[in-house]
Amino acid sequence: MGIDVGTTSARAILINKEGKFIAEGAGEYPMSAPQPAWAEQDPADWARGVRRAIHEALRRAAAKPDRIIGIGLTGQMHSSVFLDKSNNVIRPAILWCDGRTGAECEEIERRVSKKTLLEEARNIALPGFTAPKILWLKNHEPAAYRRVSRVLVTKDYIRFLMTGVFATEVSDASGMLLLNVARREWSDAILNALDIPREWLPMVFESPEITGRVSREGARLFGLAEGAPVVGGGGDQAAGAVGNGIIRAGDCTISLGTSGVVFAPASKPPPATGTTIHAFCHALPRMWHTMGVMLSAGGSVQWFRNTMRGLNPKFSYRKMDEIAASAPPGANGLIFLPYLTGERTPYNDPDARGVFAGLSLTHDISHMARAILEGVAFGIRDSADMMRQLGVPISRIYVSGGGGQSDLWRSIIASVLARPIRRLEIDQGPAMGAALLAGVGAGVWKDVAHATKNTLRVKDEIRPLKDWSKAYADHYRRYRALYPALKDYFKSPGHPA
């Protein structure tokens, strides 16, 4: 079983020893925004969502819990859960897309020093990471901070409820900004500089390793069999990469979920670049990866669909594809900046916002729909270009996530990148990767490479269209000019929150 504790819902899937998908279940939960740029969730909602997802997957498979021979966990990265000495949640979890910690990021770079931060964590301080959230709690909610005894991220809180074990694994730990990424262990240099006690942090495992077994209480809470092994799993992007077979240098996956991620493995620790390209441990021993993240990829499409549903309750993603396909490449000069919740790569600007530029009387809803798909594709190219400039090889590109189901969007992205894009027969996202990691831990496959080789097959490939690529090369240059022209406006008083 692979369990993905996502941003809007939990998902559980079951696969067999041949890697064949058997069944899935889901459980949704809300997200709150108490203030502008804030994003929070109640961890109890995650637990309820996971319980519903497990129950539904077992029901659809007509399987009893004792049929599960291994469980893998994945989920949204960076989202921070604070527990007290009695292991009670102190406050709502602060999510990966929360933008409140800009001042704390600056504080980290002062206290740790950029040089040490890059040497140890291999990343700059970004608002979504966990370490700035810990400092925010200390600076803004000191009474809550004084109660902290443990700090966990999303999937590892579910692991604790499931097994009673405080554990994480290297890929999710990398995103906390507290790990020495090269050595794959907590960084004493960063912890000491920030006065964060090491005992607050869980044990660190490799992703296929067994971290614990379902406890009696975990079995009761989630409807599982007591004693089932639970492996480390991975952060959603690392697990998703495993689920797409992205485990070798030269491979690259584009994940089109709420966020948009460009992910490429590396056989040695990536260089400390000081850019918004992340450098994390991969969900394979002795492997790392680089990653560019845009915050509103599928989120931009979802916003448009939801907005249009106010006019037409039957408006769907398929309808958006249909009307976007009727507009020409370049959308008659209309450009969309997909920064609806700020941006991480390439600009690290929580104040950035979405923009339609070049709108005229000649444009209609079809141009707007296509401009959104193209704007996200240009954001994907931003990350891919930055990674190539860092010397990261990108030779085989795969696409995953809900957005990857759109033939039009895949064609647009292939043409923007001027590279073919492949899709796998099974696209079960991070949950698939978590299930494969569980199979490795349970001894079904000897390692992750063996698991992916024996279970994953290419479904199709979309090649770039020359006319589109030519149009997009010019359109991309104008897209790149927009943010610098609007940067000061985004930061001015009274700009859209």
* pTM assigned to the model: 0.89
| CA 73 – CA 47 distance, rounded (Å) | 13
The residue annotated as part of the active site, out of 45, 98, 236, 349, is 236
CATH tag for 2-244 (out of 3.40.50.2300, 3.30.420.40, 3.40.1130.10, 3.30.379.10): 3.30.420.40
Q: Torsions phi, psi of 261, nearest 5?
A: -125, 135
pLDDT digits (tens, 9 = 90+) for 65-99: 999 999 999 999 999 999 999 999 999 999 988 98
pLDDT digits (tens, 9 = 90+) for 222-256: 999 999 999 999 999 999 999 999 999 999 999 99
Looking at per-residue pLDDT, the higher value among 138 and 493 belongs to 138
Contact partners, residue 484, CB within 8 Å, separation at least 6: none
How far the first Cα of the chain sits from its last, in Å, is 40
- Token duo for residue 375: 């704007």
195 is catalytic: no
Please say whether the beta carbons of 5 and 73 come within 8 A: yes
Query: Within the chain, which residue ranges are assigned CATH 3.30.420.40?
Result: 2-244, 245-426+465-497
Contact partners, residue 183, CB within 8 Å, separation at least 6: none
pLDDT confidence bin for 429, thresholds 50/70/90: confident
pLDDT confidence bin for 495, thresholds 50/70/90: low
pLDDT digits (tens, 9 = 90+) for 278-301: 899 999 999 999 999 999 999 999
Per-residue pLDDT for 273 more than 80? no
Please say whether the beta carbons of 159 and 211 come within 8 A: yes
Amino acid 275: pLDDT: 84
**Mean pLDDT score, 414-429:** 92
H or E segment and range at residue 181:
none
pLDDT confidence bin for 46, thresholds 50/70/90: very high
Q: Looking at domain 245-426+465-497, what is its CATH homologous superfamily?
A: ATPase, nucleotide binding domain (3.30.420.40)
| CA 47 – CA 64 distance, rounded (Å) | 20
| CA 153 – CA 173 distance, rounded (Å) | 8
